[in-house]
Amino acid sequence: MEPAPFFALENVSKRYGGVHALRDVDFACSRGSIHAVLGENGAGKSTLMKIMAGVVQPDEGRMTLEGTPVMFPGPAAANRAGIVCIFQELSLMPELTVADNITLSSPPRRFGLIDGRAQRRRSEELLARVGCEDIDPSARVADLPLSRRQMVEIAKALGRNPKLLILDEATSALTAADVDLVYRMLFDLKARGLSILYISHRMHEIEALADRCSVFRNGRHIETFTKGTRSRDEIIGLMIGREIEGQFPPKPERPRPAPFIEIRDLSWESRLNGVTLEAGRGEIVGLGGLDGQGQKELLLALFGVLRGVRGTVTVEGRTMAMSSPRAAKSGRAHMALVPEDRKSEGLILSMSIADNLAMASLDRLARGPFLSARRTRAVVQEAIEQMRIKIGDAGDPVATLSGGNQQKVVIAKWLATGPDVILLNDPTRGIDVGTKQELYRLMRELADAGACILFYSTDYEELIGCCDRVCVMYDGRIVRALEDEAINERNLIASALNIVGQREPAHG
């Protein structure tokens, strides 16, 4: 039985320039259900969400809310109608406090001034609803880790009393524990009769959450079905329009290679507490564990970003200085870091694709102080071909690319430096299935070609599928190293959590 649609779109189209972002889309969602929207990057999901949330206006088509035709000239109008969207990019003000952010659009007022106490109370309530009582409402957002910020974002959205809640990749930065909290909250909201639209690239999340699924491809609505009527492979097939086999490339069967880079007792402030790790050429070593256990700090420390790091790093037996990214990329081992946030750390969005691709290898492309146009062109061309980056013109701003292609640019710019050690900080966050698979394959190819890869991911499936070894971190140290068959979801979660009650004296 189909419940009557709560919000429906008919024949909606949207063009950006000559590109059809949405073509003739019919779409409907109902109350009391969680509706997953699936599709590769560029399939039109975000545009659909933006139209529903009033951020952009459709070129054609009409929308009805509970049977009445509606038009949203702006997000505020959509909010008033009870449609609230949590976007993929966080929309918090980093310098304001959590409470300021949560009540940003309508702060509680007293005598015309903002009532700080009421604001704090309201924020505490909302944070408690998403299960994050531990977040201090007076903390600055900039001081919170990414996953906490995302929870604040969700609390902020709930504060607007939504009838239709849209989550666009809202869990992409969350830790497993937070994802559980979000699940529980979503089921609770569903029971209260909310309509929930859920965009995610993580198949297991959709399997756990959704009642119905809609697949989009190239701006068209391909199919809507009830969960359980399609297999995972069929769904992926619908999304990419072709059959795919084996999500991860096979791991090579071989003895463990000799260590290339050896990390001894690395410590930094209270975030790293004596990390010891080694990795050889040809190895993909995963970093697991809950979010915020020092994985990111470890990568940043190796890349010379952090000040005051203690401990030693040796490459082929010789000590390496960790003074700056510049030293890291041109030192004893050529290092490369694909940072956590590609939009603010990995890329310069307003500069061209070509400029971004050349950014890390300017020194190699120069003759004296002058940049060689010929060499630059060659490097850019090679990078685009090697990574199969889909672009119009290399002179276009990199911001015009889809998320997956942007991430390819970040990786390509580092491959152009010929790195020996590649540090990957959650490189597949917010990327479509097809590109993810290309990245997995690329990682394996790079390893086979002699690179040493340290790979941090918040997605357990990836760690299991990609890594030769996984080191699980807890409280700034490595508590367990898993190999071969031992790398499974059970062990990963167990070693990430188990430690809370009973700390292993591994590196006492």
Applying CB under 8 A, which residues contact another protein?
A: 16-18, 21, 41-47, 56, 87-89, 168, 303, 305, 324-326, 328-330, 337, 339, 343-351, 355, 358-360, 362-363, 365-366, 369-371, 399-403, 405, 413, 417
CB of 503 to another protein, least distance (A): 34
CB of 216 to another protein, least distance (A): 10
- Measured CA to CA, the distance from residue 230 to residue 503 in angstroms comes to 43
Tokens of 42: 């560029």
- Measured CA to CA, the distance from residue 147 to residue 35 in angstroms comes to 23
Burial of 214 (0-12, 13-18, 19+ CB in 10 A): buried
Burial of 70 (0-12, 13-18, 19+ CB in 10 A): middle
**Residue placing its CB nearer to another protein in the complex, 118 or 327:** 327
CB of 406 to another protein, least distance (A): 9
User: Which amino acid is it at 139?
Assistant: A
**Residue placing its CB nearer to another protein in the complex, 249 or 434:** 434
CB of 414 to another protein, least distance (A): 9
| Best CA proximity match to 29, nearest among 63, 54, 59, 80 | 63
Q: How is residue 249 annotated by DSSP?
A: P
CB of 17 to another protein, least distance (A): 4
Length of the chain, in residues: 508
**Residue placing its CB nearer to another protein in the complex, 422 or 470:** 422
Q: How far is Cα of residue 114 from the mean position of the Cα atoms in its chain? A: 35
> What angle separates helix 403-415 from helix 373-387, to the nearest 10 degrees?
130
**Residue placing its CB nearer to another protein in the complex, 396 or 489:** 396
**Residue placing its CB nearer to another protein in the complex, 425 or 495:** 425
CB of 206 to another protein, least distance (A): 16
**Residue placing its CB nearer to another protein in the complex, 119 or 428:** 428
**Residue placing its CB nearer to another protein in the complex, 368 or 508:** 368
**Residue placing its CB nearer to another protein in the complex, 371 or 500:** 371
CB of 313 to another protein, least distance (A): 17
CB of 240 to another protein, least distance (A): 15
Adjacency order of strands within the sheet including 212-217: 83-86, 164-168, 195-199, 33-38, 212-217, 220-226
Show Cβ contacts of residue 54 under 8 Å, excluding neighbours closer than 6 positions.
72, 73, 74, 75, 76, 77, 78, 79, 83
16 near 40, Cβ under 8 Å?
A: no
User: Which amino acid is it at 180?
Assistant: D
**Residue placing its CB nearer to another protein in the complex, 124 or 355:** 355
Burial of 500 (0-12, 13-18, 19+ CB in 10 A): exposed
CB of 360 to another protein, least distance (A): 4
- Measured CA to CA, the distance from residue 67 to residue 70 in angstroms comes to 9
Q: How far is Cα of residue 422 from the mean position of the Cα atoms in its chain? A: 19
